[in-house]
Structure 1
């Protein structure tokens, strides 16, 4: 494994010594200005929050519960709309393509419960690491991350859910971080990553993040509720919030003199994080002083922090960004925001009211200056070129389809082919075969034979439809998280969902027909295969309807109600249970997949199977007038109002399949897309 080169230095971090990075080490500066977020009732969740995080720094967002920490992270990740303000990643405003280079570790652990920890991380590596990176190196990287985060001991444990115990809360938290560290992101946003961890594990994790930020010059922003003293001093900067307002923003080492300046001394041998939270929550007068001091010193701090003597800088022209500027004007402003003079890289970072501040973006050292400028030149190219490779999907469509198909198959297999479903299918096949065992092929038993066909088609239609209802709702959070990260295309996931679960969907109906149909007296292999094909076609079409309803509703109660109304209505108005159908409602039968699937079974059974003998008191014209021994299969079909040929019914069923699959994709693509 090669090492990642940063200037003339080489990384020794085992987690990130991998050639999957490009030759040029890219860095990212995060600036957020005057962020305001309003609640639906008009209350301010965030009120003029500002901040700046340079590459190599760790910013901690701290404050009591409900102060707006998670909301701010949602805004910085692009998952939540801001009512006013600006978020810049280097020179570029936050956009969809940039979000693919940001990792956001949520406070909740969102994973497939049926996969093991190792399987989850491996699938993430195969999807989110570059196509050109060899498979062996991806797996090697997974092994190293599991070692670093101390997850080797539980790598083969299922994630589990509320019914099946799996990983512990702390293990899920570290697994969440492991999935994001795989891609070596430019910006890491973590929502309380140490919650649920013991003190040792929390400090170990913080050391990994700190080293990751420093060695690779990456930007890390994390929210913490009440860190230990040791962890508190590992942060570079602190943003202290209370009720959405900034009480302090600056370097952690300046927290002591800052409090002394407002007349409060942090006690010795006292956790400064605990002391700060106690003061801001318990004493309104101190809180007011902090708010006033933050407003006065925030702009000065940012200007001082960004204009130190360690960096080359020249005077730059100030730019005024109008909040209501239209897109064309905004683009022209952005083109001027960043310049590349010989002495360095210029970037105006703070705009507050009438005061314009500008700065030189930090350059790590003289040796890395040219690399820094070249790296950010790539950002300039990406803004003008929407097809910038490193901001695009990491893998090709066929790779995404292949990996997602494997994952969907593995995740759905325990659910679809559970022991309970096997027992139900085998038991039902035996019961159906026993009820209709060796049924005589006579006119008197014609109705019984039709009953088996109607029951078989209806049961598997309902089984597939209701089984598919919970497919998308149960995966919604996982898929939304992965889509926001830019791991794959929705079309690849949707096709993989269709084909990956196909072998599982057809297994149980095949077992049922294999048991029950021969018990009825079927001895023709050709007829058995044809009956199986059309039973499976009906099952897949029903699954398509279930996918569409499940994707549209995302609520199981609503989905079940709509599905029940649809299936029961098509059976009632199909004429199978009653012939007294109002003339104006008889058209409803043509919207039912059962109508066409049942007709196909009738056509196959009576045209390809053994003939049906006429009864003593036959009701068929051919038996009474012609005196024939067997009933013409066309007369049987006519008596069942089956007038459509086999090919037409098949085309209509395929049309059902295509229409509902397409509608399901449209719903997921345009109506159930992740919030951004």
Structure 2
């Protein structure tokens, strides 16, 4: 359903501090948020000299206000928003300046718990419904003192407030299954961050990709929320319409990283008239301001640069700028009581067990609804099983079938793990959601990695079982229950190891093309050194790390089986059964250098390899913050 349908009913504004959500906000009051002298400096790649992305920016915002960071592309809006939200400004950037809440400095952990950040890209899980998205946000953020009934009440209040209650049971949407509209996704993103009742909300380009009606709708909700709940909302915005522009209480206008104006929207016209740039009547003020502070798209760049520098200099000398600086510095000198300086020593969020359980539940829903995660892979592996079973069909215990049996074992072990590259896009989506939720202080790398591993095991076991049921019996491998389930075990461990490799590589390189290429390269390498193309007897010992699956399957097939030498009794492998025109399977294993009785040891080593991959993936996620 489109956005327009939601305009038929006047939106309700939720009371985020009402008693049915608990008293954990009683000491959680933010009266003002100020910052002074914020400067971000990076080293220029060409000149190797220091360059300011933003320079000496100060500001002061009161509770209940909606503030816009506005300016032309590349002016530093997102950089400033990230600095205000205490996120990484840029790679290798040096940040100067201070920010204060109620006139006091607070640590980053406390700041994360009182704030939320809605990114420009909607990092939502498309296979969840709108209501499920908010429910899981509540489960992973609200403290244990808030009961399940109270959490559900809060979710319902937000659905009503944002006009998305009619879409509560609609999927957010995936590339395969259509879901809610772009404007509704924006509202879901904001609503999911309001579950925790943040006192400061940062919005990065909340109207990006929306038409003017949807943009006005989203910002109208933000305005009502700020007023009714005494929130501070700071949004970077590019080119709002006139009606959207007038919703903001204050505007911080930037150009080339410097302030051109900061103050109430009602004072903009008088200020720019005073400095010689009156806003023409019947003109969108936002468009006019962006035009006069931009020097990138103009015929006379020198003239435009001179104009912009004049506007920046006029603001630096203006009484309004001095008032902002004095106000911020004055708040920083305020002597606050201990309760104010520790205003975020409220109840902690949910414990690691509850967060992990919520992540498992969410991942389970995603796994069976999103066909990209495991559905397509199950179909792909079943096709691989039919291919293998029909190519190597009914191989008998005779010496002319020994090599085809070895070939089939190699195909089953190598290509099953190689096709794990199909897991890359699914994990990239999970990783993007994790990065957003971790940045908002919901949970760390440990619950994410644990839930990711646990939720994948039953699906990988199902894939291993279905693949084996088809391929094992069609190819006529050793016909015994023990041998069949040993084969299943090796396929399962092989898949878990391959998927763990995907997690490790993608945790380091969260780019689809790079991750896909590296995983394919690694799996191709393991195929080459797995023991089939080069036997372990002549393989460089350095490359024997991933030969355990192939040799385990070889031992499973040949250790207890006897093969006939044919009518002419010319045995390809000489064993103690040669006088009987038979080949003992251990003779085949000896040519490869494989010993029997080591299945448990090899399986244990493979489990260790899986653990190392997962550990390295955890380290990569723990150290990498983006």
Residue 348 in 1 paired to residue 330 in 2? yes
1:513 to partner: Cα distance? 0.7
1:402 to partner: Cα distance? 1.1
Q: Determine if contact 1:70/1:191 at 8 Å carries over to the other structure.
A: yes
Change (3 A) 1:86 1:569: same
The alignment partner of 1:128 has SS state of coil
Number of the residue aligned with 1:668: 621
The alignment partner of 2:21 has SS state of coil
Change (3 A) 1:434 1:46: closer
1:396 to 351, 361, 365: 351
2:101 to 84, 89, 101: 89
C-alpha distance in 2, partners of 1:293/1:502?
Answer: 61
2:149 to 118, 136, 146: 136
Change (3 A) 1:589 1:40: closer
1:633 to partner: Cα distance? 3.9
1:214 to partner: Cα distance? 3.0
1:531 to partner: Cα distance? 1.9
Q: Determine if contact 2:571/2:582 at 8 Å carries over to the other structure.
A: no
- Aligned pairs for 1:186-201 within 5 A: 186-201=199-214
1:486 to partner: Cα distance? 0.9
Residue 123 in 1 paired to residue 136 in 2? yes
Number of the residue aligned with 2:414: 458
C-alpha distance in 1, partners of 2:491/2:525?
Answer: 21
- Aligned pairs for 1:272-671 within 5 A: 272-280=285-293, 288=310, 291-298=313-320, 300-302=322-324, 348-349=330-331, 358=333, 375-379=339-343, 388=345, 390=347, 392=348, 394-413=349-368, 414-415=370-371, 420-464=376-420, 466-521=421-476, 523-578=479-534, 586-592=540-546, 595-607=547-559, 611-615=562-566, 616-623=569-576, 627-628=579-580, 630-643=582-595, 645-670=598-623
Q: Which segments of 5 or more consecutive residues in structure 1 lack a partner in the other structure?
A: 1-10, 307-346, 351-357, 362-372, 383-387
Number of the residue aligned with 1:61: 69
CA deviations on 1:8-51 (whole Å, 9 max, x unpaired) are xxx98445534245151422232111112235424432121110
The alignment partner of 2:589 has SS state of helix
1:247 to 238, 241, 260: 260
Q: Determine if contact 1:248/1:291 at 8 Å carries over to the other structure.
A: no
C-alpha distance in 2, partners of 1:531/1:476?
Answer: 32
CA deviations on 1:42-65 (whole Å, 9 max, x unpaired) are 443212111011223222223333
The alignment partner of 2:491 has SS state of helix
Superposed CA RMSD in Å reads: 3.3
1:422 to partner: Cα distance? 4.2
Change (3 A) 1:621 1:304: closer
1:94 to partner: Cα distance? 5.6
C-alpha distance in 1, partners of 2:312/2:415?
Answer: 68
C-alpha distance in 2, partners of 1:578/1:254?
Answer: 78
Number of the residue aligned with 2:298: none
Q: Which stretch shifts more, 497-506 or 563-572?
A: 563-572
C-alpha distance in 2, partners of 1:12/1:429?
Answer: 56
Q: Determine if contact 2:14/2:158 at 8 Å carries over to the other structure.
A: no
Q: Determine if contact 2:373/2:423 at 8 Å carries over to the other structure.
A: no
CA deviations on 1:94-143 (whole Å, 9 max, x unpaired) are 62441232111222222233333333222222112222322233233222
Number of the residue aligned with 2:5: none
1:77 to partner: Cα distance? 0.9
Alignment TM-score, normalising by the size of structure 1: 0.78
Q: Which segments of 5 or more consecutive residues in structure 2 lack a partner in the other structure?
A: 1-11, 45-49, 296-303
C-alpha distance in 2, partners of 1:101/1:166?
Answer: 31
CA deviations on 1:152-180 (whole Å, 9 max, x unpaired) are 34344444456665433222222211111
1:287 to partner: Cα distance? 6.7
Q: Determine if contact 1:460/1:509 at 8 Å carries over to the other structure.
A: no
C-alpha distance in 2, partners of 1:21/1:98?
Answer: 19
CA deviations on 1:458-501 (whole Å, 9 max, x unpaired) are 1212123x234445444443221111111112100001011112
CA deviations on 1:167-217 (whole Å, 9 max, x unpaired) are 332222222111111111011111232344455544444343333333332
Number of the residue aligned with 1:22: 24
Residue 36 in 1 paired to residue 58 in 2? no
Change (3 A) 1:637 1:303: closer
Q: Determine if contact 1:15/1:148 at 8 Å carries over to the other structure.
A: no
CA deviations on 1:236-263 (whole Å, 9 max, x unpaired) are 3222222222122223333344345435
Q: Determine if contact 1:245/1:291 at 8 Å carries over to the other structure.
A: no
The alignment partner of 1:612 has SS state of strand
The alignment partner of 2:68 has SS state of strand
C-alpha distance in 2, partners of 1:635/1:273?
Answer: 83
Alignment TM-score, normalising by the size of structure 2: 0.84
CA deviations on 1:410-459 (whole Å, 9 max, x unpaired) are 32443456665444333332333333333222233222222222221112
1:233 to partner: Cα distance? 4.1
The alignment partner of 2:563 has SS state of coil
Aligned residues: 589
The alignment partner of 1:170 has SS state of helix
Larger Rg, first or second structure (1 or 2): 1
Q: Determine if contact 2:21/2:151 at 8 Å carries over to the other structure.
A: no
Change (3 A) 1:459 1:116: same
Change (3 A) 1:559 1:181: closer
CA deviations on 1:508-551 (whole Å, 9 max, x unpaired) are 22111111222344543333222212221222122222322222
